[in-house]
Chains A and B, each alone.
Chain A
Amino acid sequence: MNIFTPQKNTGYTLLFAVLVTAIVLSVAISILSISRKEFLLSTSARESQFAFYAADSGMECAAYNDLVNGIFSSTTTPPTEISCANATSTIPAPTIVASSTNPAITSYTYIWSGKLGTSQCFSVDVTKEYDTSGGGLSVVTLIGSRGYNVGWNIGVTPPDCSAVNPKKVERKLLLVH
């Protein structure tokens, strides 16, 4: 004889509780995931500005030393060091490339890195293209500056911006004159 007759509504409370919990939890997780993305985006926007102004500092330093001090103008005595942001950087010997299409064009590329503040870093390359094909001498200067929010590496000689960091952001500026 079955004395425990089954009730038709058994388990409804549990189902309801699980349902409500699942809905509340999914709303919470979705809000958190949106907020997390906003947070990461705003942080990367801020870090990107640090990188941008590091690149800008490097570019202005190169432009100033080129336009005002003219340190890149002589190919016979290439610059060996440059002072930016209260620090002196070593400039290695330039890379000299003769154009394969026009033998009258020779470019000299100088590359150095510098530090801005505690962690920001910039890596600058200045290329001077000397063109004698028109009879006279025409010079085109290209200044490329990569800025980083972090990444100053003193483990190499000379120090550069090669330190690995998952937060690293790079911005580049190019100036042609």
Chain B
Amino acid sequence: MKTNTTQSNSGFTIIETLVAITILMIAIAGPLTVVSKGLTAALYARDQMIGSYLAQDAIEFLKNVRDNNKLAGGSTTWLTGITGGATTCSQSAPCTVDTINGDPTGVTTYGIVQCSYGSPTCGQMYLVSSGDLGGYSHTASGIKTQFTRTFYITSSSANPTGEAKLVVTVSWKNGTVPNSVVLQNEIFDTFR
């Protein structure tokens, strides 16, 4: 008589245990990786938004300098403060612009500083949150952020006196990966 000779279901074999652990590990590690990648992408998206608006901020400030120069007239040329004077913001020697503490009319200071690498003016920007003038600045107060912003201007070879190209570069790092937004705009010796 054959009574209960096999007990195959009485427990797990080592093979079954290993398979179960593997499946569980994949089931947990997969979603965890997905979540981690998703959060990295969200951080990158945030930084990219900030970076592109910082670039826009600089371009609009510099165009405002141009417009104020045009309105001032007299001995003021259309690029006074940006290039041709104490600061000559060229590709090999770019500048920074502090749009919070600078004055686009140039009465106090334009806030445009020639970049010499290593000096604090060319380093990371500070996020100031005080009243109406909150924002990103090069003055060392507030929270130090990871963003750096430089710009340069090149005159047009076809129209050296009346046309120039503004190039603003905002750089930052996501962990160790460097990222940047480069925005360029042609400006002319006219205003609207």
Whether B42 pairs with A39 at a CB distance below 8 angstroms is: yes
Least CB separation from B158: chain A residue = A83
Q: Which residues of B contact A3 (CB under 8 A)?
A: 3-4
B190 within 8 A of A: yes
Whether A35 pairs with B45 at a CB distance below 8 angstroms is: yes
Interface 9-residue window, one of B85-93, B102-110, B114-122, B177-185: B177-185
CA distance A86 to B27 in the complex (A): 57
Interface 9-residue window, one of A42-50, A100-108, A162-170: A42-50
Whether A46 pairs with B186 at a CB distance below 8 angstroms is: no
Whether B42 pairs with A53 at a CB distance below 8 angstroms is: no
B22 within 8 A of A: no
Q: Which of A28, A39, A84 contacts B34 (CB 8 A)?
A: A28
Q: Which of B31, B156, B187 contacts A24 (CB 8 A)?
A: B31
Chain A, residues 138-150, CB within 8 Å of chain B (1/0): the string is 0000000000000
Q: Which residues of A contact B27 (CB under 8 A)?
A: 17, 21, 24-25
Q: Which of A43, A56, A63 contacts B185 (CB 8 A)?
A: A56
Chain B, residues 152-192, CB within 8 Å of chain A (1/0): the string is 00001111001101000000000000000101111111101
Whether A49 pairs with B52 at a CB distance below 8 angstroms is: yes
Least CB separation from B28: chain A residue = A24
Chain B, residues 59-77, CB within 8 Å of chain A (1/0): the string is 1000000000000000000
Whether A35 pairs with B185 at a CB distance below 8 angstroms is: no
Whether B156 pairs with A45 at a CB distance below 8 angstroms is: no
A67 within 8 A of B: yes
Whether B163 pairs with A64 at a CB distance below 8 angstroms is: yes
Q: Which of B32, B188, B192 contacts A175 (CB 8 A)?
A: B192
Interface size on A, residues (CB 8 A): 41
A-B contact pairs, 18 of them (CB 8 A): A3-B3, A28-B35, A29-B34, A35-B38, A36-B41, A39-B45, A42-B44, A42-B48, A42-B52, A43-B48, A46-B49, A53-B184, A60-B186, A63-B188, A64-B163, A85-B156, A116-B184, A175-B192
Q: Which residues of A contact B41 (CB under 8 A)?
A: 35-36, 38-39
Smallest Cβ distance from B115 to chain A, in angstroms? 21
Least CB separation from B4: chain A residue = A3
Q: Which of A27, A35, A60, A68 contacts B39 (CB 8 A)?
A: A35
Smallest Cβ distance from B49 to chain A, in angstroms? 5
Least CB separation from A49: chain B residue = B52
Whether B185 pairs with A68 at a CB distance below 8 angstroms is: no
Whether B39 pairs with A46 at a CB distance below 8 angstroms is: no
Whether B38 pairs with A28 at a CB distance below 8 angstroms is: yes
Q: Which 4 A-B pairs have CB atoms at the shortest separation, nearest pair first?
A: A28-B31, A64-B188, A57-B186, A35-B38
Q: Which residues of A contact B97 (CB under 8 A)?
A: none
CA distance A120 to B182 in the complex (A): 12
